[in-house]
């Protein structure tokens, strides 16, 4: 079972005593602000967690995998996430620190 | 935008909460997401995207200096897949006109 906004809201309710409405608002605000900044072409850097960066991709030839028909994949802008050193170390079992 | 700017932006939206509370809430949220990933759980945020763990299996590597063969241990890497809404919002308008 995946973690969703509902679990994050419950966690804030339990650890901080924010009421459910406030907690839901704060959780949504966080993801909305990250999304809006990226939509405006601005990168988002969350120290200790990771950076959301934008990449401009050139057009390239592609192929419909079902029909085999060749098409050009248009130039596009995509979001990539780069986990911080701290997060990478943490998921590989090292102790968290306060850095 | 940095973490402190994010906190400022959320605070501006929630003047009824103290900046300190928003700061703590933000830290709790990011720690909670990190813990979930460390426990191998998927995170799915509708409209934003999902985080999952990619596992790079252990492999035979080589010390580039000495040429000595060493075992590189298995490595876990957090992976983010943007959701449809986020993907369309960051893309050039001409790619998403009429869809976003």
Backbone angles phi, psi at A89, to 5 degrees: -65, -40
**Residue B69 domain boundaries:** 44-91
Question: How many distinct structural domains can be found in chain A?
Answer: 2
Q: Count H helices, E strands: chain B?
A: 4, 5
d(CA B79, CA B61): 23
Q: Based on the fold, state whether residues B28 and B51 are members of the same structural domain.
A: no
Question: How many distinct structural domains can be found in chain B?
Answer: 2
Whether B70 is covered by a domain: the verdict is: yes
* % pLDDT > 90, chain A: 91
CATH of the domain at B72: 4.10.520.10
Residue pair B33/A30 in contact (Cβ under 8 Å)? The answer is no
State pLDDT tens for residues A19-62: 999 999 999 999 999 999 999 999 999 999 999 999 999 999 99
Chain B residues lying within 8 Å of A96, measured CB to CB:
31, 34
Distance to chain B for A14, nearest Cα, Å: 11
Nearest residue in A to B78, CA atom: A83
Backbone angles phi, psi at B20, to 5 degrees: -60, -40
- pTM of this structure: 0.88
Q: Based on the fold, state whether residues B28 and B53 are members of the same structural domain.
A: no
Count CB neighbours of B35 within 10 A.
15
Q: Based on the fold, state whether residues B87 and B73 are members of the same structural domain.
A: yes
- In the predicted structure, residue A96 carries a pLDDT above the cut 90: no
Q: Based on the fold, state whether residues B87 and B53 are members of the same structural domain.
A: yes
d(CA B47, CA A27): 13
Distance to chain A for B99, nearest Cα, Å: 15
CB contact under 8 A, A80 and B80: yes
**What is each CA distance from B20 to A42, A46, B23, in whole angstroms?**
25, 17, 5
Residues 6+ away with beta carbon under 8 Å from A83: A49, A50, A91, B77, B78
Q: Based on the fold, state whether residues B53 and B84 are members of the same structural domain.
A: yes
Query: Residue A95 — very low, low, confident or very high, per pLDDT cuts 50/70/90?
Result: low
Give, in degrees to the nearest 5, the angle at Cα A10 between B34 and A48: 20
Mean of per-residue pLDDT scores for chain B: 93
Chain B residues lying within 8 Å of A87, measured CB to CB:
34, 37, 78
Residue pair B15/A6 in contact (Cβ under 8 Å)? The answer is no
**Residue A21 domain boundaries:** 1-41
State pLDDT tens for residues B15-63: 999 999 999 999 999 999 999 999 999 999 999 999 999 999 999 999 9
Chain B residues lying within 8 Å of A5, measured CB to CB:
45-46
């Amino acid at each position: 079972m995946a973690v969703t906004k509902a679990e994050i809201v419950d966690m804030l309710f339990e650890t901080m005593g924010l009421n459910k409405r406030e907690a839901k608002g704060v959780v949504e605000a966080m993801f909305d602000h990250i999304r809006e900044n990226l939509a405006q072409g601005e990168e988002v850097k969350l120290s200790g967690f990771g950076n959301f960066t934008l990449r401009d991709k050139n057009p390239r030839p592609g192929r419909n995998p079902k029909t085999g028909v060749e098409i050009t994949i248009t130039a596009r802008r995509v979001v990539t996430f780069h986990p911080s050193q701290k997060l990478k170390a943490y998921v590989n079992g090292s102790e968290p620190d306060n850095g | 935008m940095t973490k402190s700017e994010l906190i400022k932006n959320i605070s501006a939206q929630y003047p009824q909460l103290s900046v300190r509370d928003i700061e703590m809430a933000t830290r709790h949220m990011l720690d909670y997401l990190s813990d979930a990933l460390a426990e191998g759980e998927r995170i799915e945020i509708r409209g934003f995207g999902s985080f999952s763990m990619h596992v790079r299996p252990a492999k035979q590597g080589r010390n580039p200096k000495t040429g000595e063969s060493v075992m590189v241990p298995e490595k876990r890497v957090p992976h983010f897949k943007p959701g449809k809404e986020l993907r369309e919002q960051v893309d050039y308008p001409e790619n998403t006109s009429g869809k976003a």
